[in-house]
Structure 1
Amino acid sequence: MANNEEVDNVWDDMVNLPADPPEMRQLCTLCKRPLNVCWCNYLPKVRLKPKCKIILLQHPAEEKRSLRTAPMLTLGLSENSCTVYKGKKFPTRKHIGLWDILNSKKSVLLYPSSKAINMENLPKDIEINNLVLLDGTWPQAKAIYNNTPLLQAMTHVKLLYKFESHYIIRTQPTDGCLSTLETAIEALTILENDQTYKNCLLKPLNALCDFQIKHGAVTHQSKEFRKRNKTYPKLIGRRLQQTLDIKDECV
């Protein structure tokens, strides 16, 4: 008897299903965000054209994130000024032209390796045609670097000073960590000694954060900040714990 009642209940639920699928929210054709939270109006009116090209090596999982910042870079810079290659290891046959870029003496990788040079200490007369960035979480970026010998052989540069991230709706591993967009902005600002990149390209990121907070998101501190103030509820990985302990000892 109970089985018959369960079958009847299931049938009733199916009968009451709407005949038409639920109405989908309209998406912006550029940023692919719902129209009510689209940040395209905050992009530069005239797309910026840097002297060097930005090359993003993007982990496949990053493309699925709804709150990623790489599209702000590709849409804020002029056509062909920012190229995205997707994968976990580079280059492969599908990455047309990437081998030449990574082998070029005029290409540098923005990555904080032990041999990385502070960007502000680069000779002023050095010609940089391609600035390569790894787009993904820190573990994903490290995996891409470790799996790609060609990246390890490149000239490495780093941002020495800590910058306050505007990406306040996403938890960063440590203080001073930046989103892909912000990293590119800081690098271009230093290379070209031009504040235009900050003034123009941060606007869509600030708009995105404002939209999300108005819809219920909260601001985030870094894992380092929360651990230091004993407000981080999750277990911390061994490597991050060691990094944070070393920083504590140096303070």
Structure 2
Amino acid sequence: MDELEVWDDLSNIPADPPTMRELCQNCERPMVVCWCSALPPQRLNPRSRIILLQHPAEEKRCLRTAPMLKLGLSENKCLIYKGKKFPQPKHEYLEDILNEPNTVLLYPSKTSIDISCLENKCDNYNLILIDGTWPQAKAIYASSPILHNIKQVKLLTNTISSYIIRTQPTEGCLSTLETAAEALSQLEGDPKYREQLVQPLHTLCQYQLDNGAVTHQSKEFLIKTKTYPKLIGKRLSRLLRSTENSLVTT
């Protein structure tokens, strides 16, 4: 056998498959970083339901919070639709939901009202949240005219995000999970949503911190303390002004 034949044989030897970490069948994360033990003892069953309009890029994030929300609430109390504009033919029943009179959109526009000021908080609301960064949320809103006709609400709270391993744009920004938990607590008049739904996020952050992650201050804080490492651009400047008293899901 000559040298070329030897190399040919060697090149056809299959590579050993990568060692796969055991995954949790519930959250589909590696068992070592599973946060399911921190989920509510029983899935919470609010009168209202959360409808997430999720930008496709969010699904690629390994530390996203939408799965925590979906697993923390009862079946069909958190519906997730993916896309860059809504509704699309693939979004089953979404157009009907968006047209229902009890549907409200959490979006910090000039016409939005405080969610705590809704006249009939005991109603079963469809609470629409846009799941993405602020630029992604604005793009989804702009490309989805049906959203412009929905009553808009905003969330006013002094809560500081517990998502301390991810940099937020401003001090008032909350993750998707935290936003939904706070909104449900106000709509349902029950703090258990705020207290129980965010526990998996605390578990996730603590694991990351224990394994080398560091806490992140918001860009707003870094800019105010003159420790932001880059020059601030016009878009970020506008964002800080526009979200001064509002919350943006991330």
Task: Provide TM-score, normalisation by structure 2.
Answer: 0.88
1:66 correspondence with 2:70: no
Equivalent residue number for residue 134 of structure 1:
130
Q: 1:128 to 1:166 in 2, by over 3 A?
A: same
Q: Would you say the 8 A contact 1:185–1:201 is kept in 2?
A: yes
Q: 2:91 & 2:112 partners in 1: Cα distance?
A: 25
Q: 1:40 to 1:236 in 2, by over 3 A?
A: same
Query: What is the alpha-carbon root mean square deviation over aligned residues?
Result: 2.2
Q: Would you say the 8 A contact 2:169–2:240 is kept in 1?
A: no
Deviations 1:56-111 (A, max 9, x none): 00000100000000000000000111100000000010001010111111100011
Give matches, 1:118-157, under 5 Å: 118-124=114-120, 127-157=123-153
1:196 correspondence with 2:196: no
Q: Would you say the 8 A contact 1:108–1:128 is kept in 2?
A: no
Give the alignment partner of residue 97 of structure 2, picking from 92, 98, 101: 101
1:231 correspondence with 2:227: yes
- 1:120, distance to aligned residue in structure 2 (A): 1.4
Q: 1:20 & 1:207 partners in 2: Cα distance?
A: 34
Q: Would you say the 8 A contact 1:162–1:177 is kept in 2?
A: no
1:212 correspondence with 2:197: no
Q: Which runs of 4+ in 1 moved over 3 A?
A: 242-248
- 1:121, distance to aligned residue in structure 2 (A): 1.4
- 1:27, distance to aligned residue in structure 2 (A): 1.5
Q: Would you say the 8 A contact 2:121–2:187 is kept in 1?
A: no
- 1:18, distance to aligned residue in structure 2 (A): 9.2
Equivalent residue number for residue 112 of structure 1:
108
Q: 1:125 & 1:18 partners in 2: Cα distance?
A: 62
- Which secondary structure state, in structure 2, belongs to the residue aligned with residue 211 of structure 1? helix
- 1:236, distance to aligned residue in structure 2 (A): 2.7
Give the alignment partner of residue 160 of structure 2, picking from 155, 161, 164: 164
Moved more, 20-29 or 87-96: 20-29
Matched pairs, number: 236
Q: 1:214 & 1:18 partners in 2: Cα distance?
A: 37
> Partner letter of residue 105 of structure 2?
L
Q: 1:247 & 1:30 partners in 2: Cα distance?
A: 35
Identify which of structures 1 and 2 has the higher relative contact order when contacts are C-alpha pairs closer than 8 Å and 6+ apart: 2
Q: Unaligned stretches of 5+ in structure 1?
A: 1-10
Q: Would you say the 8 A contact 2:164–2:217 is kept in 1?
A: yes
Equivalent residue number for residue 32 of structure 1:
28
Q: Would you say the 8 A contact 2:170–2:243 is kept in 1?
A: no
Task: Provide TM-score, normalisation by structure 1.
Answer: 0.88
Equivalent residue number for residue 92 of structure 1:
88
Equivalent residue number for residue 5 of structure 1:
none
